[in-house]
Each structure stands twice: as structure tokens, then as C-alpha cells.
Amino acid sequence: MSATIKNRKILHIDMDCFYAAVEVRDDPRLRGKPVAVGGRASGRGVLTTANYEARQFGVSSAMPTATALRKCPELILVPVQMDKYRQASQAIHKIFADYSEKIEPLSLDEAFLDVTDCERCDGSATRIAAEIRQRIWQDQQLTASAGISVNKFVAKVASDWNKPNGQTVIPPEQVDAFVAALPVGKVFGVGKVTEAKLHDLQVNTCGDLRRFTELELQQRFGSFGARLYRLCRGIDNRPVRPNRVRKSLSVERTFAEDRADSAALLEQLPELLVELERRYAKQQKRYAINGIFVKLKFHDFQTTTMEHSGRYFWDQALLRREFAQLIEQAWLRGQRPVRLLGLGFRFVELDTAANQLDLFTNAED
């Protein structure tokens, strides 16, 4: 039975100084020293992150490398090596998958897991988090921190509480008090502007925010006001949403009258291809086409599919030729009237989180 919103068990897991930790792991000479990952100062580089030794000097993510070197002259700078972080990220996600199907990655190093239905560790979310962190260490020699609570908001705040290499549990009965004491700046969506506005209203903590009615908050903050009203009470019903990666896209048509042969099928190709193109263009994310396939259902309901793998860009003429070939080959397998024709693409799995971070890497020299 799926759990009600009230008794969910949500984990937020976040790797500690992720890129820097991977670099230190791979070069023991860096251990114990201040290390940052990013572009060179001469190339106007910025840092993606820094290890905890470097943070003691005031070095932080997104800081220009030149500034960081002024704050910490002995800082060791390592260039970004995205492939390594991606590999570590994949290994970590494999471990997550042993505990839940409901995994929502936020970036390469951070994810929510809904472990409400997980039966491992006697169903104890606290022990599940500890075990996951232990396995990440054994498998990757990297440390992670975790927050454990009843919803995403509280779990995320909690994972920061005992960083690095720690975990914090906020059980249901403590959520209210925990959130009441929380500075409003910790609430997801409250940026500098909103925070300043709230301070003007003598609001410093989520507890202070509870003085306002939902309507008052809506009047001041628009639609975000309604969310604030709930969040400051520790209420957050957002589900953990797995980023479903699309593996294929297809269109198909059942004919009013069966098509006798492949020539009759080919007449249908241009129209179906336009439909496929329309669906492909409508997708929010871009997927690289890694193969094409056709599906035929013969009049006796026997079905056959034929694939061709290879990288394709959208090229009408080429796709038409290649689909036509597949249709002919597929028809030869049955050589009888056809009631349905389908066309489709297979996609390469793209790691959307990694792609976002690539934008950052490009700032490198």
C-alpha cells in the first residue's frame, strides 16, 4: 500500500565537496591540503568547488580563482574532469537504486529518495541512510551527508546540518519545532530580496512567519505566499519525482483497410514521418537519436519490428530512405497484408544533470 503524505520517509543525500573530493581521492598527495576545482586565474577562471580545508580560508564555490588565491595562496587548483565526476555519480546512483525506485537527482552529487516502501534495514530510514553512506564510502572512497525526514524541504535542510560526512534525522514529531526555529533564508525559494522583505516585517524564522494568514502572505508574495504559508509550518507535499529518461519515441497507425504490400505501406511513410517529427520537436528535452525502428502488425495480428542502430540527426530525406528500407525488410518477413505500421526513434540516455553542469565547465580555459 502506498503511504499517505503524512508518513513518508524521504532522504536527501548530498556528496561532500564532490568534485574536490574525487580529485583528492585520486591523488593522495592532495590529502589534508586546501584544494579547489576550476579554471585558472589567468583564464579568468572560477571555482566549481573547494574542499573543507580550503573553505577554512573563505574559499567557496563560484568564486573567481584569482580571489580564491588571494584568500589562500597555497590553494592547489585542479582542472575540472567531468568524466570522473560522472562516473562516480553513476556508481552512487547504482547504490541508491537498491533502496528505492523513487529517486530524484538534483545534480550529479545530490538526490532525493523516497524510501517509504523500502524494507531493507527493517524499514528504518535512519539506518538506510547510514548504510547508503557506508556503501558509497566502500565503493568510491567518497563521503556523503544525508537528511532524513517526512518531506523534501525538511530532508534537504537536514542534510546540511551535519556536513561533512554526517546525517541528521528530523522525525515527524520534531518537524514542527525544527522548522519553527529555522531562519527564513533556509526556505527553498526565499532569495535575498524576499529575505530582506521579511526582515523588514520582523520575520527572522519560520516560526515568526506563522503570524501571517495565508491571504496576507499571498497579498505580499503572490503565489509563492501560499507555499510559504505551508513551508513555514513544515508542510511540503511535493512527491519525489524520478527524472524519467525517455528511451524511445514512436508513432503508429492502424489502417481502416489492410495494406496489401510494402509499396502500399511506403505510401503512408511521408505522413507518419511528419507526425514523428512533430512529436520529436515537441519534446522538452533534446535527445540524441541512436537508432530507428519500424513495427508492422500483419492482418493476423502477428507483429514484427526491425531496427537499425546508428547516430541520426533530423534529416528528412535520409530518414525517409532508411525507414523505407526497414519497412521493406520487415514486410518480407511476413509477406501478407498489414493492419498497422509504426515508426520510431531510440534515444541515447542523456544525463540531464550532467549536461547542466557542462555549461559551467565551459567557463574553463
Confirm or reject binding of residue 48 to ligand TTP (CB under 6 A): yes
Q: Cα separation of 26 and 172, whole Å?
A: 40
Site string (104-123) toward ligand TTP, x via CB under 6 A: ---x-xx-------------
* 164 prior amide bond cis, ω within 30: yes
Q: Check residue 62 for interaction with ligand TTP (CB under 6 A).
A: yes
Q: Is 19 in the site for ligand TTP (CB under 6 A)?
A: yes
- Buried/exposed code over 245-261 (b: 16+ C-beta within 10 A; e: otherwise): eeeebbbbeebeeebee
Smallest distance, ligand TTP to C-beta of residue 356, A: 9
Residue 19 main-chain phi, psi, to 5 deg: -60, -40
Q: Which is nearer to ligand TTP, 164 or 207 (CB)?
A: 164
Q: Is 16 in the site for ligand TTP (CB under 6 A)?
A: yes
The total number of residues written for the chain in this structure: 365
When computed from its CA atoms, the radius of gyration of the chain, rounded to whole angstroms, is 26
Instruction: State the cell numbers at 57.
Output: 580560508
Beta bridge partners of 306: 294
| Closest residue to Mg ion in the complex (CB) | 14
Could you tell me the smallest distance in angstroms from the CB atom of residue 15 to ligand TTP?
5
> Under rule CB under 6 A, which residues in 143-182 are in contact with ligand TTP?
163-164
Using CB under 6 A as the binding rule, whether residue 18 contacts ligand TTP is answered as yes
Catalytic residue among 110, 271, 275, 277, which? 110
Site string for Mg ion, 99-138 (x = CB under 5 A): ----------x-----------------------------
CB of 18 to ligand TTP, least distance (A): 3
How many other CB atoms are there within 10 angstroms of residue 149's CB atom?
29
How many CB atoms lie under 10 A from the CB of residue 333? 13
Determine the Cα–Cα distance for residues 168 and 187; give it in Å rounded to an integer.
Answer: 17
CB atoms within 10 A of CB 116: 18
Residue 110 is a catalytic residue: yes
Q: Is 236 in the site for Mg ion (CB under 5 A)?
A: no
Residues in a beta bridge with 228: none
Which residues here bind ligand TTP, judged by CB under 6 A? 14-19, 48-49, 61-62, 107, 109-110, 163-164, 357, 360
* Residues noted as catalytic: 110
Which residue ranges make up the site for Mg ion (CB under 5 A)? 14-15, 18, 109
